[in-house]
Each structure stands twice: as structure tokens, then as C-alpha cells.
Amino acid sequence: MSQLAQTPQQREPARTIFQKGAPGRRAFVCPALDVPAVDPGELLPARFRRTEPPRLPEVSEPEIVRHYVGLSKRNFDLDSGFYPLGSCTMKHNPRLHERVAALPGHARLHPLQDPASAQGALELMWRLQNALAEVSGLPHVSLQPSAGSHGELAGVLLTRAYHEDRGERRHKVLAPDTSHGTNPATVTMAGFELVKLATNADGGVDLDDLRAKADEDVACLMLTNPNTLGLFDPNISEIAEIVHRVGATLYYDGANLNAVMGLSRPGDMGFDIVHFNLHKSFTQPHGGGGPGSGPIAVSDRVAPYLPVPVVVRRTRTGTTPSGAHASEDGAYDLDYERPKSIGRLRGFHGNYGCFVRSYAYICSLGGDGLRDASETAVLNANYLLARLREHGVAEYLPLAYGELCMHEFVLSGGPMKRELGLKTLDLAKRLLDFGFHPPTVYFPLLVDEALMVEPTETETKETLDAFAEAIAAILKEAAEDPQIAQGAPYSTPVRRLDEVAAAKRPVIREVLA
Amino acid sequence: MLAAIGVSSLQEVFERQIPEGVRLGRSLELPDGLGEQDVYEHLRELAARNTSVEDELSFLGAGMYDHYVPALIDMLTERSEFLTPYTPYQPEISQGGLQVMFEYQTAISELTALPVSNASVYEGPSAVAAAAYLAKLHNGRRRLVVSAGLHPHSIQTLRTNAHGYGMEVVEVPLTTGSAGGAQGVTDPDAWAQAIDEDTSAAIFAQPNFYGAVEDAAALSAAAKAGGEPVVICQVDPITLGILAPPGECGVDVAVGEGQSLGNRLDFGGPSFGLFAAREEYLRRIPGRIAGETVDVDGRRGFVLTLQTREQHIRREKATSNICTAQALNALAGVVYLSWLGRRGIVELGELLLARTHYARERLTALEGVEALHEQPVIRELAVRVDADVAAVRRRCIEQGVNPGVDLHALSARPEDEGGLLVAITERRSRADIDRLAEVLGAAVAAERGTAERGAQAPEPGADAPERGADAPERGAAVAI
Amino acid sequence: MSQASYPAELLYHPEHDWARISAEDPQLATFGITWYAQDALGEVVFFEAPALGTKLAKDAPYTEVESVKAVSDVVAPMSGEVVEVNEAVTANPGIINEDPYDQGWLVKVRLSDPSERESLLDVAAYMATLAG
């Protein structure tokens, strides 16, 4: 046991809900049987019946409340502190969004009810589509995909459909070696082979490598701009031109959209397909790992292949095409008449609960507000970067690429490891003791001992200063005694956990009596 | 701040990084931002133009159901500590969320009788597609054999994904009763015949889309005898208190839509998908998994484990590209299951069973209404009305009763013309079912009367003048 | 094994795999992964041996080793048929880290083309690839 005193939470062992309660306790009271009783054997033959009830807990309501409220207190969260996770855009989640999402007129709608009875909901989706089209610069939107990676799959399947419709079967998709892990998996699931592109010395796509690899067997180039190094690729127009010249599509991973809303649009950069993460730039709460929503916006040439259904506006004479400048009359509907569609990617029409929240956010900010958000996000990132380039920090955690950054930046912990014996992991764990959530660690793989920092526009200058001071303090401490950080964290509900043991002998459920 | 950065203006930061050719240079063409009160009023006004299940007596189902969600779930899912954190990449400060995942995995394993569960996937139909991908990685075969009893959205999602996987989807019909046998379940002979050595997975639903309870053990056994594909079953978790669980029926992978477990309807999402499997598939299942371990002082704790399966490490060999789970929705799910408890889930199942049976008795006793099949039903039943089902539904809705889903609109199968899928939850009392019978009976009678009169007189104009901008054009309804 | 080590008597494949041809029987070889590979992976948590009789093709992956953070293909340095697998390593994959060349061997293979050894690297050539 540690020599240090234990905190009350550390003293309390973890017990699951299955280890609580007692036989006979209950919370649920079943409504009385009000229909005539029938011999159960007549209703359901014995061979179809479960012989033993599932061993769910037997607990009372107060026990449930105490258990889960207690668990909540073993979590760090965004409402409680700074959360500079690179690539995750941990911006404030306004509680208004929860209030409006809970209105029965939004929360208690069945997805299969007639469109005539859901005009408010369909109008909300229509307006959200239009807003996303305006932000991206691409007119045709599908709200269906369930998350960013789902939107990526949609994008690659759309690309495949586009080429097949032209009588071509291409086999390769290009992506930079800095790309997010979801990109390669998506490519394989859609039946393509991933070919990696080199990054140049400035952190952008290596144009020579792109020219060498862009041929007519390439279906698509998947990029994010700014990229995972937080750098806007100055060659983006030329990249688009190279890709389009061989007839391939250009796909935009919207994970970093928070840097450019109202400042630059993927459609104007030359992208054909954009996916959005509503749980990033549009402040759908992360929920501890979902739900999210990953709508996509596409160019005219890719529009015919969009998943069904699409939200449209009917007029007496036909259907108004989607887009920011569509006519303002007519009923809203779900359109299934799309003969070239790739089909469905999920049940029903998407994560409406997320649409309500993101729509409320867009209404609150307006066009100028979205631009302000991006400008402030970039300002905050550059300011924090400037503070971390001061003496005492920069020599151990240098910026990996570039001079300025967009909304996030990547530092390398290589010098820290060599000179202080501290890995990026140790720095992250020691930050927990200082009350901060650490930045993203060990991504992108291109950077040695990477630390990816994204403060977002939510944070005040005071918070950024405090964070920079904490980093400086930890480095100073490590110069004297690296073992402190190597043994961190000390003050969290549990201390450093053995991930190797968890992988070697996986225990993924409670063993029940 | 600008001085610290070393620039004279914020504009300079952008000018130095974004080439002029791609700078927007104008405001976004969106309405101006509003204060909180105005946003609230606007969202409330949009909500007011929707009919919710609070406004009508609803028997809609087909994948999502109007169950009662206890108030404590709202309280817990609104807590900052569950609502606002990210995926638990720093486990020491995420023990709450990780333990919830571990408890959820335990609950799903227990319900399905399958030892390996992940921490949830997006929802039902995409979980079916993910299970098919697991089968492809497992055995490399090309065919997917699918019962027509699978939800149409699951079949469609599977087809879309299978095109990318390079796999072929073959649909096996349900029995029609024409050969004198039972109607409404997967045709056992066609099923056995369809499954061969090149079949990667055999997929069916329990209960099936038409509400019928299938003989899951027989379907699994036939599949094993065929070519030993991976047997996948899409389940309805609320029925697993009383139906034999997939793990005891020879099923290899169970997937399902989790919305019934403590989650809102939310016009179709977000919810969660459950995904559970046999032990041998542990390293092949997609999504997040929470595992138990200890810390440096020996304290019990939880971490995300087996992450090498996931997108961010294995990259092109990943078992799927799923990055998020549906953590908040799965939290609602496990709290709901704890709230129901060991006895509650059985009692609820028995109640649904009894009321669904009663509903079928009452409805099929009506003139012009017959059962689509006589199979055991547990929470949903299918009938056929001898009238224009769209018109019948409209009449019912005008009386404040939504009688259920237009089957043909959802399945697009010719034999489903006139079909209505009626869902029963614990919120639909006997009195509600009696009211449904009354309203549906009257609506069918009125439409049959109208049809008779219509057959004797000239048809009214196809575009009645009062139907216009307030509703979608008639004739524009297509397969959902 | 904390110090880098590359035994001189082994043959090396550029994808960080080694082969030891049996002195008694030149058609029998043992394969494994090098110190560099196990060091890059970190502690190995899972190794699934291929089935006996599996045909291996030179340069093609025949199985994987997993650590907590990464998974790596294991590439066959030469072609042949698997005649024995290391059950001890399957049960306790950490042996690969402790002793990648002796206790941590992965498979024994009956070679189909012993002349393939000519294309493999000797220890000096392999270490040169690490430096580059």
C-alpha cells in the first residue's frame, strides 16, 4: 500500500450494482394485470420460455440512486474542469439544450409517425441541414449517420457508388499518415485498400508523394484541414486539383471544423464530401463516450447517392431540392424516391435528440457567432502555445511542426523523455493531480511522445495561464525528482491502473452467483 | 494575448495560415444569433407543431416503443459527471463511466446468456451489419443468409454495408401457410436449403418483425448442420425476461435495438445497440469494452481494454470503425435494468405477453380484421384490414388513436398490403386496447362502407382541394 | 530482456522476424520475432498460434502478436508447413519479451524451399536496417 494517506474515495472499494441489494428488494412496481388471465402455456410454449430469470440486481430505488450518484463522483467532467483533449473539441454544453431536447414535442415522437404529425421536427431537421450546408459550402446534406466514423463510412460508400455509376471500380483510398484511426478501418469496411501519404517538413501533405500516388485507381483522398497537427494545409487548392484531375473525390473529416467555421469552407477548398461531428463543433454533449451524430454534406455530383431518407420540402408541383436557398413554402417530408441512393446506414433517420441540441446551438450563435467561436478557439490555442513556448517548458516539449497553429497544436515529449526521464504518459498522469484533464497523448503517431492540445473557445485566459503554469511546475518538479510524476496520479479515486493485466486476462463482466 | 502570441491582430493569425483563395470573406448566411429565451421560444414553437405520444394513444412500434422511463434515469443522465466527459481515455478519473460500462456489459451478458458483451454500439440495424462484418473476418466467406423476419431497416442497412464488404445478401421468406403449415415464421426448409459452405452468417430476429416468436433453437441447429456459419440473432431485449435467451438457443452473436431499455423515443435516436457473443469471438467484436483490473496499490478498478481491436490502433485491420459507444444511452439502459430488477423484468414480460394476446383477440374479433399469423406473440402483433389501411389509419388518428404501423409502407412486400403492426407496452392498458378496438372497428367499417359505395359511384377527384401545403401529397408515400 | 540483443547465428527478416535453421535437419526451422519488435510493442498480452499444418508463405503474415497498445503482424521469413507451436507462449505471451530468441520461439516449420535462406539478412545487415 502507498505510504501516502488515502483519500476517502480511494478508501472505498469499487462494488458493482450486482454486489448490492438483497433478495426481494425492488424498485419497479408492475402495473396490475388487467386483462383476463390465460394459462401461460397457451400464450407461449414452454420450449420458447426462459427457465431461469436473468440475474439482474435486486435493489431498491434509493440504493440505485446512491450507487450511480456515487459513481458519478468518480468521474472528471467538462462542467468541472479544463479538458484540452486534442481533436475532441471539449467546448461548453449549454443546459438550455437539455431543456429543449426534453420537451415532449421533441423527445416523445415516434420515428414512424406520419410526417404530417411531425412538421416541427422535420422543419428543425431541414433548417439544420441548411445551416450545415452553409457552414460547409456543400449544398446536399444527410443527417442519418450516427457518429463521425459512421459519416466517414457513408462518405466512402458514396464515393464507391459514384465511381460504380460511371462504370468504374477503383480500389485505393489515400490518406495522410497523420490521419485519425477511424479512416483506415472505414476504408477496409467499404472494400478499398488504404494507401498512406507522407507528410512534408511543414506538417502538410507531401505534394510529390501525392502526385506519385494519385492515379485512376484512386477513388478518394481523405483529409482533414486543419490536420491532426493543427495546421491548415496551404496547398489545399492544389491538392484538390490533383485529386480531381484523376477523377477521384476529396473527403473532409470534420473533426477539426472548430478552427474554420465562418472563416473557410470545405466546399470552397474543393472537398466533395464533408462529415460533421455534432458532438464536437456543435456541442452535443459527449456523454462519456456517446451518443454523437455524424451528418454529411456533399457536392452536386455525389448527391444522387445520399442515404435514404432525405428531409425535403414538398410544393404543389414537386419537391424543392435541399440547400440554403430553397424555397420557403411547402410541407416537410422524408424522401425515399432516390433510385441511386446507397440505401440505409441505420434504422429510421438519425439521432434527432442530437439535432435538437445542435440546432439550438446554431440558433443561439448565428452565423457571426459561429465565426466568433472559431476565431476564439484559434486565439486560445495560439495563446496557450505561446505560454508553453516560454523558458522552462519549450526545451522539453517543443512544438512538433509549424510556427502558429489553428485550434490545436501538437508538442513532442521526446526531449522531456531523454533529458528528464519523463514520458508524455507520466506528464499526463501528474496533470490529474493538478485538477486538469490531460491533453490527448500519443496521437498523431507521427510525432514522438505526442501531446495534442485543444483548449476550445470556452476557456478563459485565466484557465489557460493556470494550465501553462501547471505544466511548468511539473517539469520543474521532474528535473528534481522524476519519480514523482512516474508514480502519479496520487489524488484520484484510483491510482495508476494496470492495463496490461486487463488485456492479458480480460475480465469484462461481474461473475454472478 | 496577441502580444504573447507575437502578432498585431487576430486577422494576422488567419492570414498567415489560410490562403486568400479559400478565405470566406463574408458572413455566413444564417439568421442572427438569439438569446437563450428566444431560442427556447423558437424550439418550443417547433415542438408544438409535433404530435407526441403524450397527445395521442399510440400503438406504434416496429423497433422503437413507448415504454415508461422512470424519473431517476432523467436525473442521472443529466448529471454533469455523466453528461459532459469524453470517452474514458484517462481511466483514473473515469472510474464512474468505466464501471457503468462494466455493469452494462454484465447485464447484457446476463440477458442474452452470452459471455462477451461490448459497451454498446450505435443502434439495432447497424449492429446487425457490424455482426456480419465479424462473420466475414472470422470465416472469410461471401454469403449472408437473412430471414425475411428481420426488421426491414436491418435488411436494408445490411445490404448497404454488404456491398462494401463484398458480400452477397440472400433473403429467406417466411412461411405463408399455403402449404397447410404455420404462417409467419422463417420457412425452415428454405432456411436449411439456403445455408451452404459459402454462407458466412445466418441472421434472424427474435421475435421477428411481424411480432412472431420464432423457434430460435431449431433455426440455429439447422444453420450449424448446413455450413456452420456464424449464427446471428437480432433480439428485443425487453422480451428476454421470459423468452429463452439467444445463448441458450445456439446463437453465436446477439444484437439488438436497446431503446426499450430506459431510453426516449426521440424521433428515432439516439439510443444504443447491444452486441454480445460467444467467448471465442472476444477479440473480434467491435466497439469499446471495459475490463477489470487493479491499480498500483491493489485497488479494484476498470479500464478500456482489448483496444487493439479498435480503430485507433489496428487501423486497417480493425474489427470495425466504431469510435464512440453510446455511453449515456447505455447508462440509461443499465439503470433501467437495475430498476426493473430480477423479478420486474419477468413480471413486465408476462404483462406484455398477456396484453398482446388480449389485443390480438379483441382486434381479430372485429369485422374486416384478421390476424396475419397465429404464432405466439409477446409485445407486438400483425393484423390485416380489409380496407385501405392508410385511410383506416387516418380515421383512427382523427379520433386520437394511432393504431400502429402501416406494414406495407415499411416492408414494401406485396403480401403485406393492408397490414398493420400493433405494439403493446406497459403504458397501453386494457382500457386503451379496448378503445383501439372500438376506434379501429369503426374506421374499418366506415372505409369498407365507403369502398362499397365508391364501387357503385364515380370516384371523387384524386387531389381533394383541401389537401395542400399542410401535408405531403397523397401518392408520394413510399417505402419507409 | 532489457538490453538489445541479436544472436549472430540467426537469420533475420527486415520485418523484425528471425529464423533458426536446425543444425540436425536443414529442412526444419524455428521462427520468432526480434528484440526490436518486442521492444516496440511493449508487453505482449496475446499471441494466437496458427494451427498445425498451416502453410506459410515467405514474406506473408501468418499470425499476430498484441500488446496493450498495438498489434503487429508476424511475418514468415521462409515458406513451409507448421509442425509445432509454442504452447507455453500462448499461455504466457510475456515470455516473448523476456526471451525472444529461445523460450520465446513461436513456431517450428518444415521448410518447402530451404534455398530461401539466401534472401534473409545476417545479423550485421539486420542491425544496419535498425540504424537507418
CATH of A97-359, one of 3.40.50.10800, 3.40.190.10, 3.30.420.10, 3.40.640.10: 3.40.640.10
| Chain C, nearest residue to B318 by Cα | C71
Q: Which residues of chain C have a CB within 8 Å of the CB of B314?
A: 71
Q: Which of residues 86-125 of B touch A (CB under 8 A)?
A: 86-97, 99-100, 102-103, 105-107, 109-111, 115-117, 119-120, 122-125
Residue A181 reports pLDDT greater than 70: no
The Cα–Cα gap between A394 and A472 comes to 9
Locate the domains of chain A by residue range: 8-71, 97-359, 367-500
| Chain A, nearest residue to C91 by Cα | A504
> What contacts B101, CB < 8 A, 6 or more positions away?
B119, B288, B289, B290, B302, B325, B327, B330
Please state whether C10 falls in left (phi above 0), alpha (psi between -120 and 50) or beta: beta
What's the pTM?
0.92
Residue A210 reports pLDDT greater than 90: yes
CA A256 to chain centre: 10
Q: If pLDDT is split at 50, 70 and 90, which confidence band does A326 have?
A: very low
* Domains of chain C with bracketed CATH: 11-121 (2.40.50.100)
The Cα–Cα gap between A96 and A125 comes to 18
DSSP H/E element including B159: helix B152-165
Q: How many CB pairs under 8 A join B and C?
A: 15
Which of B9, B27, B50 is the best residue to mutate to test the A interface, defined by the most A CB atoms within 10 Å of its own CB? B50
* pLDDT the model gives residue A293: 95
Residue B462 reports pLDDT greater than 50: no
Q: Which of residues 65-124 of A touch B (CB under 8 A)?
A: 65, 68-69, 71-80, 83, 85, 88, 90, 93-94, 96, 98-121, 123-124
Comparison of pLDDT for B450 and B229, the residue scoring more: B229
- Tell me, yes or no, if A12 comes closer than 8 A to chain B by beta carbon: no
- Tell me, yes or no, if C67 comes closer than 8 A to chain B by beta carbon: yes
- Tell me, yes or no, if C66 comes closer than 8 A to chain A by beta carbon: yes
Q: Is residue A15 a contact partner of residue B99, using CB atoms and an 8 Å limit?
A: no
| Chain B, nearest residue to A309 by Cα | B480
For residue range B343-358, what is the model confidence (pLDDT) as tens digits?
999 999 999 999 999 9
Residue A220 reports pLDDT greater than 80: yes
Neighbours of A43 (CB within 10 A): 19
Residue contact A110–B60, C-beta within 8 A? yes
Integer-rounded Cα Rg, in Å, for chain B is 26
Q: Which chains reach chain C with 3 or more Cβ–Cβ distances below 8 angstroms?
A: A, B
* A367-500 belongs to CATH 3.90.1150.10: yes
For residue range B149-205, what is the model confidence (pLDDT) as tens digits?
999 999 999 999 999 999 999 999 999 866 555 679 999 999 999 999 999 999 999
Q: Is residue A289 a contact partner of residue B322, using CB atoms and an 8 Å limit?
A: no
Q: Which residues of chain A have a CB within 8 Å of the CB of C66?
A: 503
- Tell me, yes or no, if C98 comes closer than 8 A to chain A by beta carbon: no
The Cα–Cα gap between B184 and A431 comes to 60
Neighbours of B81 (CB within 10 A): 23
Q: Which chains reach chain A with 3 or more Cβ–Cβ distances below 8 angstroms?
A: B, C
Residue contact A77–B83, C-beta within 8 A? yes
The Cα–Cα gap between B287 and B119 comes to 7
For residue range B375-406, what is the model confidence (pLDDT) as tens digits?
999 999 999 999 999 999 999 999 999 999 99
Phi then psi dihedrals of residue B182, to 5 deg: -70, 155
Evaluate whether A97-359 and A367-500 have a shared fold: no
* pLDDT the model gives residue B466: 40
The Cα–Cα gap between B248 and A241 comes to 57
- Tell me, yes or no, if B170 comes closer than 8 A to chain A by beta carbon: no
Q: Residue range B15-23: average pLDDT? A: 91
Q: Is residue A349 a contact partner of residue A181, using CB atoms and an 8 Å limit?
A: no
Q: Residue range A292-298: average pLDDT? A: 96
For chain A, percent helix, then strand, then coil, each to nearest 5?
40, 10, 50
From the list A38, A289, A497, which residue is nearest B92 (CB)? Answer: A497
Which of B79, B81, B168, B320 is the best residue to mutate to test the A interface, defined by the most A CB atoms within 10 Å of its own CB? B81
- Tell me, yes or no, if C98 comes closer than 8 A to chain B by beta carbon: no
Least Cα distance to B259 among B158, B378, B124, B101 occurs for B124
Say which CATH topology domain B342-454 has. Answer: Aspartate Aminotransferase, domain 1 (3.90.1150)
Q: Which chains reach chain B with 3 or more Cβ–Cβ distances below 8 angstroms?
A: A, C
* pLDDT the model gives residue A279: 94
The full DSSP string for B352-366 is HHHHHHHHHHHHHTS
CATH of B73-337, one of 3.40.50.10860, 3.40.640.10, 3.40.190.10, 3.50.50.60: 3.40.640.10
Q: Count Cβ neighbours within 10 Å for each residue of B36-46 and write b for 16 or more, e otherwise.
A: eeebbebbeeb
* pLDDT the model gives residue A149: 85
Q: Residue range B98-123: average pLDDT? A: 97
Cell numbers 410544393: residue: A315
Helix (H, G, I), strand (E, B) or coil at A312: strand
Locate the domains of chain B by residue range: 73-337, 342-454
The full DSSP string for A183-209 is HHHHHHHTT-EEEEE-B-TTSSB-HHH
Residue contact A504–C67, C-beta within 8 A? no
Least Cα distance to A371 among A262, A218, A450 occurs for A262
Residues in chain B: 480
Q: Which residues of chain A have a CB within 8 Å of the CB of C97?
A: none
From the list A120, A290, A509, which residue is nearest B326 (CB)? Answer: A290
Cell numbers 455511453: residue: B327
Residue A472 reports pLDDT greater than 80: yes
Helix (H, G, I), strand (E, B) or coil at A484: helix
Which of B280, B289, B308, B309 is the best residue to mutate to test the C interface, defined by the most C CB atoms within 10 Å of its own CB? B308
DSSP H/E element including A174: strand A172-176
Q: Is residue B409 a contact partner of residue B480, using CB atoms and an 8 Å limit?
A: yes
Residues in chain A: 513
Q: How far is B87 from chain C (nearest CA, A)?
A: 16
Q: How many CB pairs under 8 A join A and B?
A: 703
Per DSSP, helices labelled H in A166-270 are 182-189, 207-213, 236-245, 266-269
| ipTM for the complex shown | 0.95
Going B466 to B469 to B471 to B476, the CA torsion angle's sign is positive
Cell numbers 457513408: residue: A154
Q: Residue range A149-156: average pLDDT? A: 92
* pLDDT the model gives residue A446: 85
Q: How far is A445 from chain C (nearest CA, A)?
A: 12
